[in-house]
Amino acid sequence: MTTQAGEFFPTEYKQFPFNEGDMLVSKQSDGKFAVNKILKVDRFDLKKGTSISIQSRKFTATEDDYLLVVSAAYGESEFQSFEEARVAADAGTWTVKIGHVPNRTVGAAQGQTRVGHQQVRDAELVGYRQWRQAFDKGEAGIF
């Protein structure tokens, strides 16, 4: 594991304000609100010369460095107010639209407000495990 950060990845790729299990609310483009859940936050150390696919573009590290990858479940745009979404997050009555998205920290944090915390259940990690297996083989990337 890299003990010191390099400068290949921007600083914002190495920090994330939320934790696994955090319940988030975001306002959508249609004016409604959605509930989202952080499933995993992984640190990936890349050695110089190692490649990673980010937004379908291949990047090859020019030095040893690391980045965080945030896996989240994203909900439907279904609530009329922030408060309605917060209550649904707490009660677990929100609708999952996409069960797993692996994202850069910047994208995963943008527009999100933490409203609570719930343990990540094993069943919620099915998509994560599929992605992780493909990612470890170099067959999948992140957004």
Cα separation, 110 vs 46, whole angstroms:
25
Q: Is the pLDDT of residue 3 over 60?
A: no
In the chain, what are the domain boundaries?
Answer: 11-136
- 88, two tokens: 């649904």
Cα separation, 78 vs 30, whole angstroms:
10
DSSP string, 63-122: SSEEEEEEEEEEE-S-BSSHHHHHHHHHHT---EEEEEEEEEHHHHHTTEEEEEE-PPPG
Cα separation, 85 vs 91, whole angstroms:
10
User: Residue range 43-62: average pLDDT?
Assistant: 94
pLDDT digits (tens, 9 = 90+) for 70-106: 999 999 999 999 999 999 999 999 999 999 999 999 9
Assign 4 a pLDDT band (cuts: 50, 70, 90).
low
The model's pTM is 0.93
Sort strands 57-60 and 51-54 into parallel, antiparallel or unpaired: antiparallel
